[in-house]
Amino acid sequence: MPDSEVFKIKFMPLKKKKSEKTKIDVILESSRRDFLKKVGIVGAASVAAGAAVYSGYRFEKAKNNEDTIKVLTEDNKLVEIPRDQVKDYKPGLKVYQTRGREGIKGKKWVMVIDLSRCRNARKCVNACQDAHHLRPYEYHINTLVMQESANTPEYFMPKPCQHCDNPPCVSVCPVDATFKRQDGIVLIDNERCIGCRFCMAACPYSARMFHWQEPSATEADKDKEYNVELNVPQKKGTISKCLFSADRLREGLLPYCVSACPNGVFYFGDENENAVTNGTTKETVDLKELLKKNGGYRLMAELGTKPRVYYLPPKNRLFEFKKGPETEYKETT
């Protein structure tokens, strides 16, 4: 047999068929499957991890949006700040003093009191005393019994500060504690008041009071910042008076006395707009027309003080005049 034949015969068994697998092939294939399986697991884990990271990012982003708030700065810029940094804003003394002296731009406050409607309910007095922490015998507004002559009937007259445009109290104050604002209101700054009482002597309407003793709410108000528009906390040795509820006007509300009256006695509004609103009915009317039709007048206008409080005479009265019993107030301890 030729050598070539022997070679063929000898090596023929080494040829494998396509369908047959060697032990090495099985091992390799098994390893490849394990590898792919592991790669698949890792890949899925990577995808899952990626999704988790993205989801976390979206959550944090949303969380960050929820944790911020937009605020308007003093120079009218809209900014976004973390919500946990937001604190309740409490104006300090400097802010109160500055805006208290400036007043509300573009306004010229005026009050109208209809004497035909007053029946001495004294709700205006009580509301004022509560707001300004006054005792029952301390007044920023009081109701007087008036009678023009022995032949005329008596009537009730609420008397607040007249907030004159030519106020003698302002001109006599030596320390600029009493001042007139651009919106027509006359205020007292008790951080400057020295208690000389020159303003009390100069006021022809006896509209001011002096704190001879410690105010009733001294202990309760000790941690409060002084607000010149509310005149609280009150201070011993200083002057106090009607403020036209300047703190309420800044919030767009009617004065305490005006809102409290149940009988429609008070109107209050802006002379620049020629409109006043009744505190009881909430009806807004033409100021000039109201004064003209009802014969409106100002108290002791002949003095040249130019009051910003107008009165409608007690004609066609809605209630009979009934004078209540005298009340004696005693200090309780």
| Calpha distance 284→279 (Å, rounded) | 9
pLDDT of 7 higher than 50: no
Task: Report the pLDDT value the prediction gives residue 74, as an integer from 0 to 100.
Answer: 60
Task: Report the pLDDT value the prediction gives residue 73, as an integer from 0 to 100.
Answer: 76
Find the largest Cα–Cα distance for the chain. 168
167 torsion bin: left (phi>0), alpha (psi -120 to 50), beta (else): beta
Which is more confident, 20 or 205? Answer: 205
Task: Report the pLDDT value the prediction gives residue 81, as an integer from 0 to 100.
Answer: 85
Backbone angles phi, psi at 13, to 5 degrees: -60, -20
pLDDT of 4 higher than 90: no
- Cβ atoms of 136 and 302 within 8 Å: the answer is no
Domains and CATH numbers, the chain: 19-83 (no CATH), 93-312 (3.30.70.20)
Task: Report the pLDDT value the prediction gives residue 316, as an integer from 0 to 100.
Answer: 83
Structure token digits, residue 274: 């020629």
* Bridge partners, residue 278, by sequence: 267
Q: What is the 3-state secondary structure (H, E, C) of the chain?
A: CCHHHHHHHHHHHHCCCCCCCCHHHHHHHHHHHHHHHHHHHHHHHHHHHHHHHHHHHHHHHHHHHHCEEEEECCCCCEEEEEHHHCCCCCCCHHHHHHHHHHCCCCCCEEEEEECCCCCCCCHHHHHHHHHHCCCCCCCCCEEEEECCCCCCCCEEEEECCCCCCCCHHHHHCCCCCEEECCCCCEEECCCCCCCCCHHHHHCCCCCEEECCCCCCCCCCCCCCCCECCCCECCCCCCEEECCCCHHHHHCCCCCHHHHHCCCCCEEEEEHHHCEEEECCCCCEEEHHHHHHHHCCEECCHHHCCCCCEEEECCCCCCCCCCCCCCCCCCCCC
Task: Report the pLDDT value the prediction gives residue 69, as an integer from 0 to 100.
Answer: 84
Backbone angles phi, psi at 153, to 5 degrees: -75, 155
Task: Report the pLDDT value the prediction gives residue 5, as an integer from 0 to 100.
Answer: 45
Q: pLDDT category, 263, cuts 50, 70, 90?
A: very high
pLDDT of 48 higher than 70: no
| Calpha distance 172→193 (Å, rounded) | 12
* Among 105-109, 286-290, 314-318, the least confident range: 314-318
Question: What Cα–Cα distance (Å) separates residue 61 from each residue in 7, 66, 86?
Answer: 77, 9, 20
Which is more confident, 33 or 145? Answer: 145
* pLDDT tens figures, 111-124: 999 999 999 999 99
Q: Between vectors from CA 261 to CA 259 and to CA 262, what angle results, nearest 5°?
A: 115
| Calpha distance 280→291 (Å, rounded) | 18
CA dihedral 74, 75, 76, 80 (to 10 degrees): -70
Q: Between vectors from CA 238 to CA 232 and to CA 240, what angle results, nearest 5°?
A: 55
* pLDDT tens figures, 143-156: 999 999 999 899 99
Task: Report the pLDDT value the prediction gives residue 47, as an integer from 0 to 100.
Answer: 47
pLDDT of 22 higher than 50: yes
Which is more confident, 73 or 282? Answer: 282
Task: Report the pLDDT value the prediction gives residue 32, as an integer from 0 to 100.
Answer: 58
Q: pLDDT category, 31, cuts 50, 70, 90?
A: low
Structure token digits, residue 161: 């500060």
Which is more confident, 87 or 27? Answer: 87
Which is more confident, 45 or 95? Answer: 95
